[in-house]
Amino acid sequence: MPLYETVLLARNDLTQAQVEAIADQVAGIVGEAGGEVRKREYWGLRGLAYKIKKNRKAHYMLLGLDCTPAAEKETARQLGLHEDVLRHMTLRIETINEEPSAILAKRGEDRDRDRGFRGPRPAGRFGSGRGRERGDDREEFRARSRDELEPMGGEE
């Protein structure tokens, strides 16, 4: 049987359990036709590039389907009729990759990345402009007296 990947976007006011229920409905349709859902990933609530049906965010779900073309067509029809599904897209693929998708892999990298020291903060660059919020006692940021400053051209 051919393999498909379906990504669906569900309304942001749903819970994760309700989005999983939509995926269960798809699994039921595919199962009745003799196929199976071989991959299922919930990508979470993410921002949209533009508003879709007055929504700025949506729940993303990826499904890897192993089913007949007729079952895929019925799945697309049912997703199109479902009022909680904003968009869906199905692609035919050669193999279903069992590893986590790039979206989930990126989320894991963000958690593992070191959030330690990021270097010195330049004085005054990020402040409000109303003076120094916090003092910086490092030599390169310390205020210098007039004696330490070099004379500016012609005045001596």
| DSSP letters for 88-126 | EEEEEES----SPPHHHHHHHHHHHS------PPPTTTS
Per-residue pLDDT reduced to its tens digit, 44-63: 999 999 999 999 999 999 99
Q: The whole model's pTM is what?
A: 0.68
Question: What structural domains and CATH numbers belong to the chain?
Answer: 3-93 (3.30.70.60)
Residue 50 parent element (H or E): strand 36-52
Average pLDDT of span 73-84: 95
| pLDDT for the residue numbered 100 | 85
In this predicted structure, what is the pLDDT of residue 66?
Answer: 93
Mean pLDDT (whole number) for 125-145: 58
